[in-house]
Structure 1
Amino acid sequence: MRNIYIFNLFLCLGATATRFLERNLAYKSPFLDAPQLGHNIDNLHKRQVQHVRRQMEDAGIFEDEHYVTFYGSDFSNSPFIWSGGLNFTHAGKMLGDPFDTSVLLWARAAPLPSSGSSKLPDQSVPVCLSYQVSKFADLSGPPVDSGEAFTSYDVDWTVKIEATGLQPDTKYFYRFSDCTDPTSTSPIGTTRTLPRPDTAADNVNGGNPFILAVFSCSQYQAGWFNAYGYAANFVKPDIYIHLGDYIYEGLGNGASIGRQTLGRELATIFDYRQRLAQYRTDESLRAAHLSGPWITVWYVADNAWKAGTADSNDTSIGCSFSPSGACFTDRKLSAVRAYHEWMPIRQVVSNDKLRIWRNFQIGRLMDLTMLDTRQYDRDLTDVSVIDKLVNTISSYENRSLMGAEQEKWFFQTLSQSQARGAVWRIIGQQIVFTQLNLSGTCELSKDAWDGYRANRRRVLDHLYGNKISNTVILSGDSHANWVSDLAYPNDTTKYNPISGEGAIGVEFGGTAVTSPSSFGPISQPETVIVSQAFVAANADLQWSEGFYRGFFSLKVDPSQLNATFYAMNDIASANLKGFATAEFIVKAGESKLSRPVAGGTVLAGALKS
């Protein structure tokens, strides 16, 4: 009779129980306009009800308050959720896409086997996590936001929560814990909200510089992710920006440094989940995710464009190109589902080509505009077998890197940013914008903006034609460092490469976290020779460096922007050894690199002057 009573109690509380499922955004569809692609909450709830049972230990005299009410109650003796212990894997949490009054919190907590057994719990039994957000590092005092949410094997034991009701431009601390055992907790993490869009530039971040750390190209088997840890420990950015290749789909061979990838080339949801989980075992990556919010972009596979990748598309031949046997669309949707579970990104619209391009108004200090120059509506890119074809069409007027809708939105966003009085316009996108001739041979990368020259010209036309100042483009993908003034490629009639006069902005291109240099497996002195050839052959290019793995940071205030490039001494083992190779200044209103560029001195690579 007692079990029947508990079962009926659970049914009576069902409406509240489903809210615990609904609160976990990982159960929802990745697509705002396609809720049917999410998990059916009612069915999940019914499945859990079917397995209601008492735990093995004696609960003592039955009293209602000893049993779960799914809101503010004692979960310690609940038969409806797992109470056998949790493993807060992968540092427990990460966070992303901050707004001025909310942030996304993420955790993964897998159930531990029962005591004395290697057997995992019935996977129909949900795991319950509670969370709290505080202004204090020790989480003392009443939380500013708190709650509980369920997770299960359906979403790979992940929980994604939107913490709301927060104050703008404020630092917060947060933690997850096991609902059934408050002493079982994840590490305490740090996050922050953005300032309101109308916050005066001088008042953003309490009047202190706003710091961004910029990364791309993290290949697990190529080395340890020391750059993330270096940033978390020494740079302490307000926001982490990742411009692409957060994971890689291939296998490679990292066994010699203890970095052998698991599984196969990525194709299914399981494959992407497994690879994301393996990446998150890296201590430096976990430290970075604990120390601040991240803003990221999609990743599917190598050299992706709107209808394929380097080894897959949706033709019968294209499907067979992939070692995994997956066609492009299947692969893409698997990646999106796993990213929705594992990454702190918000839902997107399915019938708008998985749009992830968006804009963050960080007070009147800056607009941080994130483009999608890979997945959204990108025309055919260089996928090796058709290299010559892409070269013949790279200058076509109707060829687009962004697609017409994104391009129109981008131009409007730039103009609106200047009109609203934002000091800086910072554009995060995946690939190198500046033309990069190799020793004047016209050997251009068709996978960069050099393969979409008319599209690049239209961007420059908009900047020049509308006199849009203080534009800074961020780029990754190339596995090398590049710093340039923004101008029409090699047009020295309007642009002076010595003084910088005639430029309309600046580009900072960063190297890879670990992926091998695009200069090839050559020595550091040999890469300097290559860099000297690049800066000599390209008028806009002011610095090139191709040996070290690392990242760069931007320190932004109303009067100037400082960009510092960091190199890791060694990625063959886990360590925090690095140094600053170069520092660049851009003064507000000048729209060019300040001279002498990098103060006239760099510790790696080659300067034009």
Structure 2
Amino acid sequence: MFSKRGSHISLYVVLYGLTSCVSSNPVDRNLAYRSPFTDKPHLGYDTRYIHARHAKRQLELEIEDAGGFVDEHYPTWYGADFSNSPFVYDGGINFTHGVASGDPFDTSVLLWTRAAPDGTQLPDQSVPVCVSYGIWDNPELSGKPVNMGEAFTSYDVDFTLKVEATGLEPDSKYWYQFADCTNPKTISVVGATRTLASPDTPAEKVNGGKPLTFAVFSCSNFPFGFFNAYTFAALNTTSDIFVHLGDYIYEYANDVYGNGTSIGRILSDRELATISDYRTRMALYRTDTGLLTAHQNHPWITVWDDHEVADNTWKAGSADSNDTSLGCQYSPSETCFTDRKLNAVRVYHEWMPIRQVVADDKLRIWRNFEIGQLMDLTMLDTRQYDRDLTDDYWNTDFVNTVSSFPNRSIMGFEQENWFLGTLKNSSERKATWRVVGQQIVFSQLNETGVFDLDAWDGYRANRLRVLDFLYNNSIGNTVILSGDSHANWVSDLAIPNDTTTYNSSTGEGAIGVEFAGTAVSSPSPFGQFIAPGPADDISTEIVNLNPDLQWSEASYRGFFTLEVAVSNVTATFYAMRNLNTSNTDGFASAKFIVHSGQNRLARPVAGGSVLAGALRNGTHA
């Protein structure tokens, strides 16, 4: 039933699918059990044990029941009589957090839901919850499903369910739904998703010849406002795929970083540390109607940033919890960083429609999608994987002294070598565009003498290695996507401070572009609730200090779309006016075009005019 196929994934990375040998085990069909380390049961879930636990429960019930019970088959999408089947929970379920899909391949996609038992009485841990699913090629769900199946979930994975729908057609739209195996009348909402074009699809034929559009998000912070950017993107744009660059949740306790009491968005009173903490926070975020709508209507491709675990993470610590040779410096939650990290990663894989990458390779989620010959979408992890020491506030001066050291890496040298190889492979296979999704601002940002050492400015040699590789190998049409900073920054990609090779006015000498987006709701770095006028004054000063930077805007919260066509890429930035209620009150603040082969923003940048922010050599309409 399940397949390993997914040929659009780069040869440099293998994403796990389920093999036919486990398809008979409905526990293994639920990919949430297989994370975060598929073949390391002591770090994840031993599905053989869980399956045996369910079987033991069934055997005990058979012995107790004089009439006996024979399990002839697992339930089908169309239902079965489970009146005499006590080994499957039949007390009713609720699909409490909608549906979601993600990590589409050319012939498969992941489908997600949460099937929470009804009422306050949870089933015995030995009793699994059975959920069936089907996927159709029409929104009415008429006719036979293209793919269907059943899978188990349980308290072990917070009753989440993540399955792979296979046998799909490339570059096609689909609709899916979940149901309670024991009561097929209990169904989830209908979700919409799609597959990607096969790698060998000619660029001009991808997406039926229409531009492929991505909605790009980062930094959604619950107490700071409603997630209206998700709603706006889902309902008011023609986006095909949603890309999230991280900070999907925040780990802070209430009042530590934002108090949402006035708008009814209140957090727990402890910083996240345990697996229960992270699950509760994920569940809370998934109550936002905008987020539910966005997941229901589009497939997502995601990476984490730091706050999915803790603030300013690196490979051995964070701002308030670090593992050292002498032991652990405890966080306010009294949990070591490594423990927090493993808990957070496990919950992330339970709740997000993301595929597991190489299971015995630390925390690897970096991966590459080959979307026809139109583009490669490369997703990096510049936070959790193998990042060297970052600015954790107490060590700012030290990190500044080592920020240019050549042995520092923001992603670990294994990932860095993979990334450069992926760029080269993309160029050699003649993909038109290379789009790189990653967390933090890549270009140098001199903010009136201050540099963000937690971004690429704290890893200058690593940044230079990437730029040199692009220049030396003549790899063009590269677009870097960034989040994290809670502000909008649009730049040509060039060697920092190189005004000889790079011409800031014309863009000549650049090797690509960067689109860095603002936050869904997290506050501006220029000050929470800062008005457009004062924010634009600061942006103007920063634009004047940075030759590569062409536009800066930091008052509005929002997102941007990236429309990828053969001849050009267009980025449109959207601003939300009001986060105090759930609404779609927003507008397009700026639009930028990159023509194929030019490796720079088209001039005049943004057509010479924007509706918000500071534009170099442009006007504010």
The verdict on a shared fold, with TM-score over 0.5 as the criterion, is yes
Q: Equivalent residue for 2:203? A: 201
What is the CA distance between 1:52 and its match in structure 2? Answer: 4.8
Does residue 515 of structure 1 match 2:517? Answer: no
Q: Equivalent residue for 2:87? A: 80
Q: Are 1:312 and 1:318, in contact at CA under 8 Å, matched by a contact in 2?
A: no
Q: Equivalent residue for 1:58? A: none
Q: Which amino acid aligns with 2:531?
A: S
Q: Which amino acid aligns with 2:616?
A: K
Q: Equivalent residue for 1:266? A: 272
Tell me, what secondary structure is at the counterpart of 2:200?
A: coil
- Hey, what's the Cα distance between the residues in 2 that align with 1:43 and 1:307? 31
What is the CA distance between 1:201 and its match in structure 2? Answer: 0.4
Does residue 590 of structure 1 match 2:592? Answer: no
Q: Equivalent residue for 2:574? A: 566
What is the CA distance between 1:429 and its match in structure 2? Answer: 0.6
Q: Which amino acid aligns with 1:474?
A: L
Tell me, what secondary structure is at the counterpart of 2:247?
A: coil
Name the stretch that deviates more: 363-372 or 39-48: 39-48
- Hey, what's the Cα distance between the residues in 2 that align with 1:54 and 1:402? 51
Q: Equivalent residue for 2:389? A: 380
* Structure 1 segment 469-488 matched on structure 2, within 5 A: 469-488=476-495
- Hey, what's the Cα distance between the residues in 2 that align with 1:266 and 1:247? 11
Q: Which has the higher helix share?
A: 1
Q: Equivalent residue for 1:70? A: 74
- Hey, what's the Cα distance between the residues in 1 that align with 2:388 and 2:337? 15
* Structure 1 segment 84-99 matched on structure 2, within 5 A: 84-91=91-98, 93-99=99-105
RMSD over aligned Cα, in angstroms?
Answer: 2.2
Label 1:47 to 1:405 Cα distance change in 2 as closer, same or farther (>3 A): closer
Does residue 22 of structure 1 match 2:28? Answer: yes
* Structure 1 segment 212-223 matched on structure 2, within 5 A: 212-223=214-225
Q: Which amino acid aligns with 2:285?
A: Y
Q: Which amino acid aligns with 1:250?
A: Y
Does residue 311 of structure 1 match 2:313? Answer: no
Q: Are 1:108 and 1:157, in contact at CA under 8 Å, matched by a contact in 2?
A: yes
- Hey, what's the Cα distance between the residues in 2 that align with 1:290 and 1:215? 16
Does residue 348 of structure 1 match 2:357? Answer: yes
Does residue 414 of structure 1 match 2:418? Answer: no
- Hey, what's the Cα distance between the residues in 2 that align with 1:168 and 1:35? 34
What is the CA distance between 1:412 and its match in structure 2? Answer: 1.1
Q: Which amino acid aligns with 1:385?
A: W
What is the CA distance between 1:69 and its match in structure 2? Answer: 2.3
- Hey, what's the Cα distance between the residues in 1 that align with 2:373 and 2:81? 46
Name the stretch that deviates more: 525-534 or 335-344: 335-344
Q: Which amino acid aligns with 2:53?
A: R
Q: Equivalent residue for 1:34? A: 40
What is the CA distance between 1:26 and its match in structure 2? Answer: 1.4
Tell me, what secondary structure is at the counterpart of 1:405?
A: helix
- Hey, what's the Cα distance between the residues in 2 that align with 1:321 and 1:389? 22
Cα deviation per residue 1:77-124 (whole Å; 9 max; x = unaligned)? 232222222110111x211111111111111011113xxxx5344343
Q: Equivalent residue for 2:174? A: 172
Does residue 302 of structure 1 match 2:311? Answer: yes
Label 1:64 to 1:327 Cα distance change in 2 as closer, same or farther (>3 A): closer
Name the stretch that deviates more: 307-316 or 75-84: 75-84
Tell me, what secondary structure is at the counterpart of 1:594?
A: coil
Q: Which amino acid aligns with 1:506?
A: V
Tell me, what secondary structure is at the counterpart of 1:22?
A: coil
Q: Decide which of 382, 388, 404 is 1:395's aligned counterpart.
A: 404
Q: Equivalent residue for 1:500? A: 507
Q: Decide which of 244, 247, 253 is 1:245's aligned counterpart.
A: 247
What is the CA distance between 1:49 and its match in structure 2? Answer: 4.5
Q: Which amino acid aligns with 2:376?
A: D
Q: Decide which of 282, 289, 299 is 2:288's aligned counterpart.
A: 282
- Hey, what's the Cα distance between the residues in 1 that align with 2:158 and 2:39? 23
Q: Which amino acid aligns with 1:98?
A: P
Does residue 455 of structure 1 match 2:462? Answer: yes
Q: Decide which of 325, 341, 352 is 1:332's aligned counterpart.
A: 341
Q: Equivalent residue for 1:8? A: none
Q: Equivalent residue for 1:433? A: 442
- Hey, what's the Cα distance between the residues in 2 that align with 1:63 and 1:387? 69
Does residue 291 of structure 1 match 2:300? Answer: no
Q: Are 2:215 and 2:233, in contact at CA under 8 Å, matched by a contact in 1?
A: yes
Does residue 599 of structure 1 match 2:607? Answer: yes
Tell me, what secondary structure is at the counterpart of 2:25?
A: helix
- Hey, what's the Cα distance between the residues in 2 that align with 1:156 and 1:64? 28
Does residue 369 of structure 1 match 2:378? Answer: yes
- Hey, what's the Cα distance between the residues in 2 that align with 1:345 and 1:544? 32
Q: Which amino acid aligns with 2:310?
A: A
- Hey, what's the Cα distance between the residues in 1 that align with 2:397 and 2:586? 40
- Hey, what's the Cα distance between the residues in 2 that align with 1:94 and 1:300? 22
- Hey, what's the Cα distance between the residues in 2 that align with 1:177 and 1:356? 30
- Hey, what's the Cα distance between the residues in 2 that align with 1:222 and 1:127? 36
Tell me, what secondary structure is at the counterpart of 2:355?
A: coil
Label 1:318 to 1:596 Cα distance change in 2 as closer, same or farther (>3 A): farther
Q: Which amino acid aligns with 1:84?
A: G
Q: Equivalent residue for 1:532? A: 540
Tell me, what secondary structure is at the counterpart of 1:525?
A: helix
Does residue 542 of structure 1 match 2:553? Answer: no
What is the CA distance between 1:400 and its match in structure 2? Answer: 1.1
Q: Which amino acid aligns with 2:404?
A: S
What is the CA distance between 1:50 and its match in structure 2? Answer: 5.1
Q: Are 1:430 and 1:475, in contact at CA under 8 Å, matched by a contact in 2?
A: yes
Q: Which amino acid aligns with 2:73?
A: T
TM-score w.r.t. the length of structure 1 is: 0.92
Name the stretch that deviates more: 44-53 or 80-89: 44-53
Does residue 192 of structure 1 match 2:194? Answer: yes
Q: Are 2:23 and 2:29, in contact at CA under 8 Å, matched by a contact in 1?
A: no
Q: Are 2:75 and 2:181, in contact at CA under 8 Å, matched by a contact in 1?
A: no
Q: Decide which of 132, 135, 147 is 2:134's aligned counterpart.
A: 132
Q: Which runs of 5+ in 2 are unaligned?
A: 1-20, 62-66
Q: Equivalent residue for 2:9? A: none
- Hey, what's the Cα distance between the residues in 2 that align with 1:70 and 1:17? 12
What is the CA distance between 1:437 and its match in structure 2? Answer: 0.8
Cα deviation per residue 1:278-299 (whole Å; 9 max; x = unaligned)? 0000000011111111111133
Q: Equivalent residue for 1:254? A: 260
- Which structure has the greater CA radius of gyration? 1
Q: Which amino acid aligns with 2:114?
A: R
Q: Are 2:550 and 2:605, in contact at CA under 8 Å, matched by a contact in 1?
A: yes
Q: Which runs of 5+ in 1 are unaligned?
A: 1-14, 56-61
Tell me, what secondary structure is at the counterpart of 1:314?
A: strand
Label 1:416 to 1:320 Cα distance change in 2 as closer, same or farther (>3 A): closer
Q: Post-superposition, which runs of at least 4 consecutive aligned residues in structure 1 deviate over 6 A? A: 15-18, 62-65
Q: Are 2:446 and 2:546, in contact at CA under 8 Å, matched by a contact in 1?
A: yes
Does residue 556 of structure 1 match 2:564? Answer: yes
Aligned length: 582
- Hey, what's the Cα distance between the residues in 1 that align with 2:265 and 2:499? 47
TM-score w.r.t. the length of structure 2 is: 0.90
Q: Are 2:543 and 2:550, in contact at CA under 8 Å, matched by a contact in 1?
A: yes
Q: Are 1:75 and 1:179, in contact at CA under 8 Å, matched by a contact in 2?
A: no
Q: Which amino acid aligns with 1:122?
A: D
Does residue 100 of structure 1 match 2:109? Answer: no
